Amino acid sequence: MNKEKSVIQITVREQILEKLGNRCRCGETNTEVLQLDHKLGQGYLEKQFFKSRQEMFEQYLKEFEYESKYLQILCFNCNVKKRNRLQETKKRPGINDIKVLNKPFDEANPAEVIELLWNYPQFRPLVRRQVRMIQRIYKEVQENKE
């Protein structure tokens, strides 16, 4: 028996689906049609924070308790319905959205910045990924002031 072939390779994605229960809210359990959904939508933004999908999935596993709050399993049908209902588009932040970012950050504390950006759905994936980074930068700025 070929030793390599006897090793069952469970992909990182499959591990995440399993930890999330391998089940859509409609009851579908056929793993062929189950998909990992970003609750906040616009998963394409999320992907930009990683070099690859593999790296993204590894991060989800590594910090599963935190990351899983933003993930859910949907079957193909439920995912299509969600997209149509929320009219999720691949719209990138426009010029009016970018203006929000011009508010001087050094005068706002991280909580304010995060709250401000959170009001814009198109920034939410970015905000949640950068919360820790913003907090760290703010802390460094404060320490250097003293």
- Please give the residue ranges that form the binding site for Zn ion (CB under 5 A): 24, 26, 28, 75, 78
Q: Rank residues 32 and 65 by Cβ distance to Zn ion and give the closer one.
A: 32
Q: Give the nearest distance from C-beta 18 to Zn ion in angstroms.
A: 17
Question: Are 106 and 115 within 8 A, CB to CB?
Answer: no
How many Å apart are CA 118 and CA 92, to the nearest integer? 15
Q: Give the nearest distance from C-beta 23 to Zn ion in angstroms.
A: 9
Q: Rank residues 43 and 93 by Cβ distance to Zn ion and give the closer one.
A: 43
Q: Rank residues 28 and 97 by Cβ distance to Zn ion and give the closer one.
A: 28
Instruction: Report which residue type is found at 35.
Output: Q
Q: Give the nearest distance from C-beta 86 to Zn ion in angstroms.
A: 15
Quick one: CA dihedral 126, 56, 70, 39, positive or negative?
positive
Instruction: Give me the torsion for CA of 100, 37, 88, 121, rounded to 10°.
Output: -20
